Amino acid sequence: MEAPRVLSVYPAECEEWVTLRNGERVFLRPVRPTDGPKIIDLFSRLSPKTIYFRFLTHLDRLRPEMLKHLVEIDYVRHFGLVAVIWEMEAEVETIVGVCRYIATERMDHAELTIVLRDDWQGLGLGKMMVTRVVNIARGKSIERIEILFDSRNDGMQQLFRSLGYPVLHETSILDIADRMEIVLGSVNL
C-alpha cells in the first residue's frame, strides 16, 4: 500500500478533550493519514445495522480504495473528526466514532456523515462531533450541509433535529435514502 497523501497541514487547533454524559473522557481530533488500521478496527466493531445506516449498503469489509478515501483528506474540502479513547488493557488508542464532511467543488455545500461504535451511541458524543464538524464547515464558508440516511434511522433524525438548525427533510420516493439539509447561514452556534 502506498503512503497516504495529505494536501494541507494537520489542524491541531481542532483537537479537544470532551466529557460525555456517563463521565467518560474522549479525545476529539482530525483524521490522520495513518488512521487506516484504527478505521478498520472501528469498522470491525460496528453492528451490521450500524454499517448499513452509515454506508446505506451492506458491507462486510472496507475495500482499500474506500479506506484510502477515508484517511486521505485535505482538511478543507474533506474534513474528518475522530473520537479516540485509550484502551488500558490493550494499551492502544482506539477510534470509537468518525464524523466528516465532503464539500462540493464550489465549497458552498457539503455532505456530512457520522458513525459511532454501537457501545458509544446515546452518550451525547454524536451531537458533540456533529456540532464541531458543522462549525468547521461554516468556517470554510459552507452554507448547506446535506445528510443522506435510511428512513428507519430514527437516531440520525433525532440527532439533527436536536441541534437547532433549520432542517429541510425529504423522503425518498425511490426508497434509497431520505435527505435532510441544514442551512448554516441563519444559525449561530
pLDDT digits (tens, 9 = 90+) for 127-161: 999 999 999 999 998 998 988 877 778 788 788 77
Q: Is residue 95 helix, strand or coil?
A: strand
List the strands of the sheet with 16-19, edge to edge: 16-19, 25-30, 78-87, 92-103, 109-116, 144-149, 178-183, 167-170
Superfamily of domain 12-183: Gcn5-related N-acetyltransferase (GNAT) (3.40.630.30)
128 neighbors 28 (Cβ within 8 angstroms): yes
Q: Where are the domains of the chain?
A: 12-183
Q: What does the pLDDT read at residue 163? A: 79
Q: What does the pLDDT read at residue 170? A: 66
Q: What does the pLDDT read at residue 6? A: 47
pTM of the model: 0.86
